[in-house]
Structure 1
Amino acid sequence: MNTQWLRTFLTAAKQENYHQTAELLFMSQPAVSVQMKQLERELGVFLFERNGRNVRLTTYGRYFYPKAVQIIKELDEGFMEMQRIKQGYYQTLTIAVSPLVATTYLPYWLKAYVKKEKQVDVVIRVMESELIAEEINKGLSDIGLSRMDSQIKGVTASRIFEEPLKVVAPHDGGEEESSLPIEFRSLIEEKVLLTDNHPEYWEPILRQLHFAYPALRTMKVSQVHVAKRFIEEDIGFSILPRSAVRRELAEGRMLEIDAPELLLPMASTYILSKYPQKQAITFETTIRRLV
């Protein structure tokens, strides 16, 4: 059976029109008709019935459609696999990673891993930490790098490191030597606190702050990179992991605020897995050697 017939069949089934099918596949309409007749002859059944200028699947066609989808899917996957092998890849490692980890620590870890494991094809899937455990549970990724512990039975989470939190505010515009330090209480009174950019540590922090500062104003901003942009634009201040603001502090685009009265937890990063394969174990070993 010619696989091109199957691809034409799938397109015609979606378009329900041979003329539109021909345009999409850069074929002539008679060529589409010929291919469908050849496929029907091969199967011994009619797959389409005419409805004016349009066509629609027969009962046989509706039955055959998912079979054709599966055949083409397996063929394409096999082709891609062969291309990977030709390029020297014999294994695949799919990593689900939070945006913050992806833009801070992951490049350093990944550089060391791919340098050593040249036969592994690495796939990176960036998603929020709340989704990573389910991603691992469904087998869509081999390993996860998340900012929160796993809440799913069977998906193990191991803390790989902790880092301190920093209270950061917009730069006041003055010269570093002459500017007076910004007091945390003044910051609370003058600016909005940007919250909810981390899945774990905000609840205990907000309990402290609302007790000590009942007039505290907050704004929920779920993405770290957006919170940082808002800080630089003087919309508010926030409490972020050190790795997220290291560059901005070094370049003077943000100020670190001393808050001795505030008991700050540590920000954790976890590695999640379910049935780790050899390449996933090797990747975890690489990370633990580097942190």
Structure 2
Amino acid sequence: MDLKLLRTFVTAAELENFHQTAERLYLAQPTVTTHIRQLEHLLGFQLFERVGKRVRLTPAGHRFLPHARRVLATYEQAVNEMTAWWQGYDTRLQLVTSPLVATSVLPGLLKEFTQENPRVEVIITTEVSSAVGQVVASGAAHVGLARAPSTHPDTISTVLYTDPVVLVAAPENAAGAGWMDLIGRHLLLTGNHPIYWDPLLVAVSRRQPHLRTLAVDRVDVTKRLLEEGLGVSFLPLSSVVRELAEGRLVTVPVDMELPTAATYLILPQHREVPDAARQFVQLLKRSFPGGVAPGPQGR
């Protein structure tokens, strides 16, 4: 069976629109229609039915879709593995991490891992923390690193390390100001961590009721805004190590108890991982003895 027919079918099933399918696959729309008709002729079943300007799968189409996806996935895996072999790799390590982990501790870890394992091909994808467990459970990644534990029943989450949450600001904003005055005069950038913000915001508002907040859902964006002097924020210490060392941000003392932020190692519950993944997990455990976050001189 021609793989291009399967690829057209799967794309059309996802988009439910032949015109959009043609645009995504860089085909003419009549070609998409021809591919679907050829596939239907081979199978002997109608795969789509028209609903206005869109299409939707027939019962036969729904039944065939997972088979088509598996065939394409097997082909792509074979091509990727042969390419890796040709490039001199013996095996592969697939990681999925949250953006915060990917931009803070992961670069140093990968540098050490690739030096120790030069024949392992490493593939990295990023997802929001809440989605990392699903990726690991699906088999699309061997190891996950996230700022929240996985809720998927087919995964195991353990705390890799914790680090303190600190109040940070640009030096010019923090100069000579107490923390409550600072928060009263500047925007408080919130929402950049999946766990601690809701209870922390309640506790802070009790001490400083005159809050103006701005929700930002990514730590890297928050840090860039802070460097520009647009507000202050509470961030995990490990996420601002470089900015503090270079003087682009400073910490501000706070006379109230602040939370700690955890980074979680997420592994499949009922599936063996390859040797490369086990070696990477061993490196993680060596790198964070006692579950302590990297300090200013760490990675």
What SS does the aligned partner of 2:161 have?
A: strand
Asked if 2 retains the 8 angstrom alpha-carbon contact of 1:93 and 1:120, the reply is yes
Counting matched residue pairs gives 254
Matched residue, 1:164:
164
Distance 1:77 1:145, change over 3 A: closer
One-letter amino acid of the structure 2 residue matched with residue 103 of structure 1: T
Distance 1:167 1:74, change over 3 A: closer
Asked if 1 retains the 8 angstrom alpha-carbon contact of 2:7 and 2:72, the reply is no
What SS does the aligned partner of 2:233 have?
A: strand
TM-score normalized with structure 2 length: 0.71
Offset of 1:88 from its aligned partner?
A: 2.9
Please state if 1:272 is matched with 2:266: yes
Please state if 1:282 is matched with 2:279: yes
Offset of 1:251 from its aligned partner?
A: 2.3
Between 105-114 and 70-79, the greater mean CA deviation after superposition: 70-79
Between 158-167 and 84-93, the greater mean CA deviation after superposition: 84-93
Distance 1:69 1:279, change over 3 A: closer
Offset of 1:214 from its aligned partner?
A: 2.0
Please state if 1:200 is matched with 2:223: no
Matched residue, 2:223:
228
What SS does the aligned partner of 2:124 have?
A: strand
Root-mean-square deviation over aligned CA pairs? 3.7
Asked if 1 retains the 8 angstrom alpha-carbon contact of 2:188 and 2:232, the reply is yes
Deviation per CA, 1:31-90: give whole Å up to 9, x if none: xxxxx9xxx9xx8x9xxxxxxxxxxxxxxxx9xx97888766644542332222233323
Is there any run of 5+ residues in structure 2 with no aligned partner, and where?
13-17, 28-37, 45-60, 289-299
Distance 1:11 1:229, change over 3 A: closer
Percentage of pairs with the same residue: 32
One-letter amino acid of the structure 2 residue matched with residue 272 of structure 1: I
Please state if 1:141 is matched with 2:138: no
- Aligned mate of 2:252, from 236, 253, 257: 257
What SS does the aligned partner of 2:280 have?
A: helix
Distance 1:218 1:78, change over 3 A: same
Deviation per CA, 1:156-203: give whole Å up to 9, x if none: 111111112221112217xxxxx9532112112201110111111112
Separation in 2, partners of 1:160, 1:131: 18
Please state if 1:216 is matched with 2:215: no
One-letter amino acid of the structure 2 residue matched with residue 286 of structure 1: L
Is there any run of 5+ residues in structure 1 with no aligned partner, and where?
26-35, 46-61, 174-178
Asked if 1 retains the 8 angstrom alpha-carbon contact of 2:6 and 2:72, the reply is no
Deviation per CA, 1:196-245: give whole Å up to 9, x if none: 11111112211211222222221111111111121122221001111222
Distance 1:158 1:276, change over 3 A: farther
Matched residue, 1:30:
none
One-letter amino acid of the structure 2 residue matched with residue 241 of structure 1: P
One-letter amino acid of the structure 1 residue matched with residue 117 of structure 2: E
Offset of 1:149 from its aligned partner?
A: 1.6
Offset of 1:280 from its aligned partner?
A: 1.8
TM-score normalized with structure 1 length: 0.73
Distance 1:207 1:244, change over 3 A: same
Distance 1:276 1:167, change over 3 A: farther
Matched residue, 1:49:
none
Matched residue, 2:121:
121
Matched residue, 1:239:
234
Separation in 1, partners of 2:76, 2:183: 57
One-letter amino acid of the structure 2 residue matched with residue 159 of structure 1: V
Separation in 2, partners of 1:10, 1:258: 57
Distance 1:236 1:90, change over 3 A: same
One-letter amino acid of the structure 2 residue matched with residue 243 of structure 1: S
